[in-house]
Chain A
Amino acid sequence: MSKENVLRVSDVTMQFGGVVAVNNFSMEVNKGEIVGLIGPNGAGKTTAFNCITGVYAPTNGQIEFNGEVIVSNHPHGKMKQMYKGENMGKYNKIIAPTPDKITKKGIARTFQNIRLFSSLSVFDNVLIAKHLHAKQNVFTATFRLNRKEEKRMREETMALLKEQGLDKFKDDVASSLPYGLQRRLEIARALATNPKLLLLDEPAAGMNPQESDELMGFIGEIRDKYDLSIFLIEHHMQLVMGICERIYVLDYGIKIAEGNPEQIQNNPRVIEAYLGVDE
């Protein structure tokens, strides 16, 4: 059974000065999959995320999205001497887009510590995400020459808020929402960019068990409804094991395991990384 590949990360290494945060990391996400990335604190999970979303340009490696190379780099300049990773010389192109370009291609994300436009309304938070696909320029937008487009954006936003159950808060200031709803709003905002792949950075952080159970169902729901693939970082094991079809484990920047939940749970290296070794 061959699945259509959505995201392929190949040999990605991220080195800050002398510190290698992610080392030679490869992974893939197939269409419709929910894939998890776990690991102890400081294992480089968020760094890996940031490489995919264009916040950092990886020091070495390549990232493909729907078969198109979206990020590619090799150690150059000062890094050439300092580079400690592997696969040097395997890639020779430099493609380092800014995060907005990546979002435009269809990868949306949420943040570990919620980053909403906190003093704007819930409605505006989502409406802003519609900006990138709007057919307009600053002249037509200012002089209201394309009212249809603005109307479409507003209608789509409203529809999305309704689907996410946020419509009754639409005029509230984003920062006034309770924590769980802020998380949900952040996901709604990411969905508003019409992504094919959704990256969630610790979506259950700070949630109580009931809330994270709800979230589990919710993640599955949005995958089906919006025809998404989802890649998430999470500490909450129950959630990860419950919804992820495949899981990657990072420790000290190195991938130590991959497989389905059962394989991961029984993998001695994973247990060692999480619990330490008995002397």
Chain B
Amino acid sequence: MDFVRDNLPYILAGISVGGQYALIAIGYTMVYGILRLINFAHGDMFMIAGLMAVYAVTWMPLYVAIPFIIVLTVLLGFGIERVAYKPLRSAPRMSVMISAIGVSYLLQNAALYITGGLTKTYPNIPFLADTITVFGATTKVVTVVTPFLTIGLVILLVILINNTKIGMAMRAVSRDFETSRLMGIKIDSVISMTFIIGSFLAAIGSILYFTNYTGVMPTAGAMPGLKAFVAAVFGGIGSIPGAVIGAFIIGICENIIKGLGWTTFSDAFTFALLIVILIVKPTGLFGEKNIDKV
């Protein structure tokens, strides 16, 4: 019990961070499932959503600002897909990935320009930022809310994918891009929908994440983004439950490592885990195997 009591704050923080990674990881995994693209700009979208909140609250009350930034992030995600990825639909995969890196570079530089390179204080969202005591450990409400909210959203998403027409189209496209096109599925709208869902979840993830960390920097998106991607790979890229489970595992492990006093290695650990997974089971926990035909 001692171990648990000593480490409870870290485990709680881990579950919370895990939930936030999960919300980002879904965006990665869905886009990869459909376009076979590592959307390197996704982490930066998450950062931009954070910055938008910083600026939005100076103009409008919080209850307007939150839906506003969610809509804006969704529009941004949609726009990025249309401008930077759609023209490259028939190009080799590497070109699209490079375009994604370019977008990431652009978003980071734009954020640097707007903020002047300073860390911006994230607005204090009442309720979420309140402190609360769980099993004798003091933490913010957001820590407790995150896992439940995440799981709730994921259930909704799974229902959407399994039971609606657009969900069926998404599943079809992720199976076979070309055949789905031939079957009359409007590829572009399916892809847009994927980006919309991904951005929506990233926006919510960003609210939860930055409430915990108080500051937004132009580079704040890079690391959580990469980690969420690792979570997606860990769970088996293309699989939504996989991404969520992977994200929780990574969040918890990372915080336990911090708790042990190895903070320098908390990031490195994530990547070490990734490499081990890629070597031992490249398809991740729930991924499917595909064989190249000769």
Q: How far is the CA of A50 from the CA of B293 in the complex (A)?
A: 10
Q: How far is the CA of A55 from the CA of B291 in the complex (A)?
A: 12
> What does the 1/0 interface line of A89-112 toward B look like (CB < 8 Å)?
000000000000000000000010
Residues B114-138 near A (CB distance < 8 A): none
> What does the 1/0 interface line of A50-71 toward B look like (CB < 8 Å)?
1000010000000000000000
The residues of B that contact A46 with a CB separation of less than 8 Å are: 294
Q: How far is the CA of A158 from the CA of B70 in the complex (A)?
A: 65
Q: How far is the CA of A50 from the CA of B292 in the complex (A)?
A: 13
- A115 (CB) vs chain B CBs: closest residue: B294
Residues A6-63 near B (CB distance < 8 A): 16, 46, 50, 55
Q: How far is the CA of A147 from the CA of B294 in the complex (A)?
A: 36
Report, as a range, how many residues of chain A touch the other chain: under 10
> What does the 1/0 interface line of B192-231 toward A look like (CB < 8 Å)?
0000000000000000000000000000000000000000
- In the assembled complex, the CB of B256 is this many whole angstroms from the nearest CB of chain A, namely 33
Q: How far is the CA of A46 from the CA of B293 in the complex (A)?
A: 10
Q: How far is the CA of A46 from the CA of B291 in the complex (A)?
A: 15
> What does the 1/0 interface line of B255-294 toward A look like (CB < 8 Å)?
0000000000000000000000000000000000001001
- In the assembled complex, the CB of B94 is this many whole angstroms from the nearest CB of chain A, namely 14
Majority secondary structure of chain B interface residues (helix, strand, loop or mixed)? loop
- In the assembled complex, the CB of B228 is this many whole angstroms from the nearest CB of chain A, namely 32
Q: How far is the CA of A55 from the CA of B294 in the complex (A)?
A: 8
Q: How far is the CA of A16 from the CA of B291 in the complex (A)?
A: 10
The residues of A that contact B291 with a CB separation of less than 8 Å are: 16
- A201 (CB) vs chain B CBs: closest residue: B294
The residues of A that contact B294 with a CB separation of less than 8 Å are: 46, 50, 55, 111
- In the assembled complex, the CB of A252 is this many whole angstroms from the nearest CB of chain B, namely 19
The residues of B that contact A55 with a CB separation of less than 8 Å are: 294
Residues A149-181 near B (CB distance < 8 A): none
Q: How far is the CA of A17 from the CA of B52 in the complex (A)?
A: 51
Q: How far is the CA of A55 from the CA of B292 in the complex (A)?
A: 11
The residues of B that contact A111 with a CB separation of less than 8 Å are: 294
The residues of B that contact A50 with a CB separation of less than 8 Å are: 294
Q: How far is the CA of A210 from the CA of B89 in the complex (A)?
A: 39
Q: How far is the CA of A46 from the CA of B294 in the complex (A)?
A: 8
- A46 (CB) vs chain B CBs: closest residue: B294
- A111 (CB) vs chain B CBs: closest residue: B294
- In the assembled complex, the CB of B160 is this many whole angstroms from the nearest CB of chain A, namely 31
- In the assembled complex, the CB of A114 is this many whole angstroms from the nearest CB of chain B, namely 13
Q: How far is the CA of A111 from the CA of B291 in the complex (A)?
A: 17
Q: How far is the CA of A207 from the CA of B294 in the complex (A)?
A: 21
Q: How far is the CA of A50 from the CA of B291 in the complex (A)?
A: 14
> What does the 1/0 interface line of B44-73 toward A look like (CB < 8 Å)?
000000000000000000000000000000
- In the assembled complex, the CB of A205 is this many whole angstroms from the nearest CB of chain B, namely 15
Q: How far is the CA of A232 from the CA of B45 in the complex (A)?
A: 55
Q: How far is the CA of A16 from the CA of B289 in the complex (A)?
A: 12
- A17 (CB) vs chain B CBs: closest residue: B289
- In the assembled complex, the CB of A148 is this many whole angstroms from the nearest CB of chain B, namely 36
- In the assembled complex, the CB of A73 is this many whole angstroms from the nearest CB of chain B, namely 18
- A112 (CB) vs chain B CBs: closest residue: B294
- In the assembled complex, the CB of A58 is this many whole angstroms from the nearest CB of chain B, namely 14
Q: How far is the CA of A188 from the CA of B164 in the complex (A)?
A: 54
- In the assembled complex, the CB of A106 is this many whole angstroms from the nearest CB of chain B, namely 20
The residues of B that contact A16 with a CB separation of less than 8 Å are: 291
- A53 (CB) vs chain B CBs: closest residue: B294
Q: How far is the CA of A19 from the CA of B268 in the complex (A)?
A: 41
- B289 (CB) vs chain A CBs: closest residue: A17
- B291 (CB) vs chain A CBs: closest residue: A16
Q: How far is the CA of A18 from the CA of B294 in the complex (A)?
A: 20
- In the assembled complex, the CB of B272 is this many whole angstroms from the nearest CB of chain A, namely 27
- In the assembled complex, the CB of A259 is this many whole angstroms from the nearest CB of chain B, namely 29
Q: How far is the CA of A111 from the CA of B292 in the complex (A)?
A: 14
> What does the 1/0 interface line of A107-140 toward B look like (CB < 8 Å)?
0000100000000000000000000000000000
- A49 (CB) vs chain B CBs: closest residue: B294
- In the assembled complex, the CB of A28 is this many whole angstroms from the nearest CB of chain B, namely 23
- In the assembled complex, the CB of A225 is this many whole angstroms from the nearest CB of chain B, namely 28
- In the assembled complex, the CB of A86 is this many whole angstroms from the nearest CB of chain B, namely 24
- A99 (CB) vs chain B CBs: closest residue: B294
- In the assembled complex, the CB of B283 is this many whole angstroms from the nearest CB of chain A, namely 14
* 5 intermolecular pairs with C-beta atoms under 8 Å apart: A16-B291, A46-B294, A50-B294, A55-B294, A111-B294
